[in-house]
């Protein structure tokens, strides 16, 4: 028969129960092999119960000291009841100096005490009893999280000033550096918010007119890493120049904010608008705009584009690439069968080939082709070449050289580039 003798408002603070006539402290900690919470108990006396009832600070200190023993029990082991019982007299009945001395010798859970309002400065100086004068029965888990985040920063030499901390709170990255930043003005002290907004304004001015385009080679929602790095560098340089007092954590979170916002806009932009935003100005060289095009990938899948399609050829092609691109599918072709010309993108090698038919096969002889190669500078280079071809064909690519017909020469050029 188990009866609850004493419990506090927070269900996590250990309860006192009576089981088969014996007083026991009961607490939940850790989890078993099935990820279900584990419950531990060990015996206490009436004198211990009296202190637990009246002294919240001592109750919390006992909890903090017992939790590491529960952790040591793991998913299946038993609590070391002798070790737990040995803590009782000193923590609950001992003099403050004796309690402080004990906590210098044992493992204890600092975060629990901080979450319940302990004075952090006194805790770090080893004055645990004095630190618990500010203890509260309610828990503030965020306070403990912020403490550990500050500890991690301090370990790598980063100490935040008030404005640094406000910027991290504004972007939601104070606790976790891996969090995608967003704008949370309500998280900032109103007195510091104008300063935070001045820093954000500096970043916005630095990347005005810049964009982060999509990279269909890596999927329908992937964005261009080069664009990201360019914007990141521009923002960080401007913010460091205008606000030299900021630590790296604050500067980087501002640049991450601006880059992630630009990337999100790009992902949510229709492919046609995305093409327009690149700002391509292609001289089609007097050739007629294409009327029928065939898109194929390295797996033999084909898609047709017709001139009366509601979407542009470039938009249709890049959507085809985004849907089909994979580690084993990195060669894509656009062909104008009527004109006998096309281009082939080698995404694995950052290169492209333009192909034109010199003579069609007639059953007695094979067709003859002219094939020329060119290195490509990232997704931006591919976009320029694809747009030029779908607007003006083979001839429109002439200005986008140099083109190499000698395969050995092209391979040497590719090796030289890769060695840089």
Selected residue with higher pLDDT from 268 and 306: 306
Q: What is the pLDDT of residue 184?
A: 97
- What is the distance between the terminal CA atoms of the chain, rounded to a whole angstrom? 77
Residue 401 reports pLDDT greater than 90: no
CA distance 312 to 132: 68
Residue 227 reports pLDDT greater than 70: yes
Strands 351-359 and 331-336, sheet pairing: unpaired
Which of 314, 317, 177, 320 has its CA nearest to residue 257?
A: 177
Give the pLDDT mean for 360-365.
71
Write the burial class of residue 338 (CB in 10 Å: 0-12 exposed, 13-18 middle, 19+ buried): exposed
The Cβ of residue 142 has, within 10 Å, a number of other Cβ atoms equal to 11
Residue 233 reports pLDDT greater than 90: yes
Residue 282 reports pLDDT greater than 90: no
Q: What is the pLDDT of residue 286?
A: 40
3-state SS class at 99: helix
Q: What percent of the chain lies above the pLDDT cut of 70?
A: 95
* pLDDT band (50, 70, 90) for residue 166: very high
Q: What is the pLDDT of residue 296?
A: 96
Residue 226 reports pLDDT greater than 80: yes
CA distance 12 to 47: 22
Give the pLDDT mean for 283-305.
78
Q: What is the arrangement of strands in the sheet containing 22-31, beginning at the earlier edge strand?
A: 2-6, 15-19, 22-31, 37-43
Q: Reduce the secondary structure of 382-396 to three states and give it as a string.
A: HHHHHHHHHHHHHHH
Give the pLDDT mean for 98-126.
96
Cβ partners under 8 Å of residue 359, min gap 6: 365, 367, 368
Selected residue with higher pLDDT from 274 and 346: 346
Q: What is the pLDDT of residue 273?
A: 57
Please, what is the average pLDDT of the chain? 91
What are the residues facing 28 on neighbouring strands?
39
Q: What percent of the chain lies above the pLDDT cut of 90?
A: 72
């Amino acid at each position: 028969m188990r009866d609850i003798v004493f419990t506090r408002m927070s269900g996590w603070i250990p309860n006192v129960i009576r089981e088969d006539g014996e007083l026991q402290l009961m607490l939940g900690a850790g989890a078993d092999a099935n990820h279900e919470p584990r419950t531990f108990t060990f015996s206490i006396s009436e004198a211990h119960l009296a202190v637990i009832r009246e002294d919240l600070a001592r109750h919390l200190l006992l909890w903090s000291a017992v939790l590491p023993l529960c952790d040591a029990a793991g998913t299946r082991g038993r609590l070391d009841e002798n070790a737990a019982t040995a803590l009782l007299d000193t923590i609950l009945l001992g003099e403050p100096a004796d309690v402080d001395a004990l906590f210098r010798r044992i493992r204890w859970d600092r975060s629990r005490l901080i979450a319940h309002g302990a004075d952090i400065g006194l805790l770090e100086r080893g004055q645990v009893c004095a630190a618990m004068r500010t203890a509260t029965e309610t828990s503030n888990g965020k306070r403990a999280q912020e403490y550990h985040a500050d500890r991690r920063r301090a370990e790598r030499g980063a100490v935040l000033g008030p404005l640094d901390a406000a910027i991290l709170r504004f972007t939601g990255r104070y606790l976790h550096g891996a969090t995608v930043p967003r704008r949370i003005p309500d998280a900032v002290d109103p007195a510091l918010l104008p300063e935070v907004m001045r820093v954000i304004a500096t970043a916005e001015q630095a990347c005005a007119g810049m964009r982060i385009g999509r990279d269909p080679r890596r999927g329908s929602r992937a964005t261009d890493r080069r664009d990201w790095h360019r914007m990141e560098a521009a923002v960080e340089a401007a913010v460091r120049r205008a606000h030299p007092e900021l630590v790296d954590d604050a500067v980087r979170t501002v640049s991450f904010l601006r880059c992630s916002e630009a990337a999100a806009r790009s992902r949510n932009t229709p492919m046609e608008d995305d093409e327009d935003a690149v700002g391509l100005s292609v001289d089609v060289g007097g050739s007629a705009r294409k009327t029928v095009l065939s898109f194929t990938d390295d797996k033999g899948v084909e898609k047709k584009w017709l001139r009366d399609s509601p979407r542009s050829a470039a938009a249709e092609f890049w959507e085809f690439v985004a849907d089909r691109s994979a580690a084993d599918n990195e060669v894509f072709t656009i062909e104008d069968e009527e004109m006998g010309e096309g281009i082939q993108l080698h995404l694995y090698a950052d290169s492209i080939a333009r192909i034109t038919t010199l003579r069609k096969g007639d059953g007695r002889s094979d067709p003859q082709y002219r094939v020329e190669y060119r290195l490509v500078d990232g997704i931006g280079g591919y976009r320029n070449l694809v747009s030029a071809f779908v607007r003006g064909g083979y001839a429109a690519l002439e200005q986008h050289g140099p083109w190499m017909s000698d395969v050995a020469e092209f391979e040497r050029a590719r090796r030289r580039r890769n060695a840089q």
